Amino acid sequence: MRVTSPVPPPLTPLPDITGISGARPFDLPELVRGRRSVRRLRPDPVPPELVTTILEAAAWAPSPHGTQPWRFVVLTHPERKRALAEAMADAWRHHLAMDGEDEETIARRLAGSQRRLLEAPVLILVCLDPSNLDRYPDPDRQAAERTMAIQSLGAAVQNALLMAYRLGLDTGWMCAPLFCPDIVRRTLNLPSHLEPQALITVGYAAADPQRRPRRPLETLIVAWE
């Protein structure tokens, strides 16, 4: 059974990047190679219209059957960000202890993760909404349907990251909500059917990150026939 998706809203005009401080008018190859994961962001506020542009870019990602199974929660108020960071802290601490980390290491890594959430002017929580996915009588196809939806959510996140970079912003992709979805839902009063998948930190870079080298392309192509 297929549920009809709502009619999408009209396009929001892209902002004129000539009027945006720090905007990067790059072509796509430059954007793809230039995008980086930044852990330290300045406290400077991000204009709401730029956040809207980022979210619309995310919403244009491909999705299974056009279901667009992503939903976004935007957090900008310090108290909301702090509530989320503190609520997730116990789960972080528990998982690090399971990994055999000592108390000093746990405290240091936990402080770093919380700092990333608190310093970022904008947090975008990306959730999976499976309610409009096709339904199948067999578990294999149903599992494949869910996998397609999760893959499309990753495409939406990548669109958001690239648009943010074009607009002169920088981002970080954190998967912590995957490990404590109930805590995230409860803290943010989200409907039970939404599945928290990722947090995107958005802001202006306070320092350039040390980038990891990419593997040579010939080592990634396993067949070309």
pLDDT at 10: 57
- Residue 74 contacts residue 51 (beta carbons within 8 Å): yes
Q: Lowest-confidence range among 102-106, 115-119, 192-196?
A: 102-106
Mean pLDDT of the chain: 89
Q: Looking at per-residue confidence, does 140 or 27 come out higher?
A: 140
Q: What is the mean pLDDT of residues 50-66?
A: 95
Classify 111 in phi/psi space as left (phi over 0), alpha (psi -120 to 50) or beta: alpha
| Rounded Cα gap, residues 59 and 70, in angstroms | 8
pLDDT at 96: 83
pLDDT at 6: 44
Q: What is the mean pLDDT of residues 176-194?
A: 96
Residue 147 has pLDDT above 50, yes or no: yes
Of all residues in the chain, what percent carry a pLDDT higher than 90? 69
Q: What is the mean pLDDT of residues 28-54?
A: 94
Rounded to two decimals, the pTM is 0.87
* β-pair partners for 127: 71, 196
Residue 134 has pLDDT above 50, yes or no: yes
Q: Looking at per-residue confidence, does 181 or 102 come out higher?
A: 181
Provide the b/e sequence for 84-112 (b: ≥16 CB within 10 Å): bbeebbebbbeebeeeebeeeebeeebee
Q: What is the mean pLDDT of residues 59-86?
A: 96
Q: What is the mean pLDDT of residues 29-45?
A: 93
Q: What is the mean pLDDT of residues 62-68?
A: 94
| Rounded Cα gap, residues 169 and 123, in angstroms | 13
pLDDT at 4: 43
In which band, very low, low, confident or very high, does the pLDDT at 2 lie, cut at 50, 70 and 90? very low
| Rounded Cα gap, residues 79 and 128, in angstroms | 25
Structure tokens at 176: 């912590």
- Residue 99 contacts residue 158 (beta carbons within 8 Å): no
pLDDT at 18: 67
In which band, very low, low, confident or very high, does the pLDDT at 8 lie, cut at 50, 70 and 90? very low
- DSSP H or E run through 171: strand 170-174
Q: State which fold the 18-220 domain adopts.
A: NADH Oxidase (3.40.109)
In which band, very low, low, confident or very high, does the pLDDT at 100 lie, cut at 50, 70 and 90? confident
Domain range list for the chain: 18-220
Residue 208 has pLDDT above 50, yes or no: yes
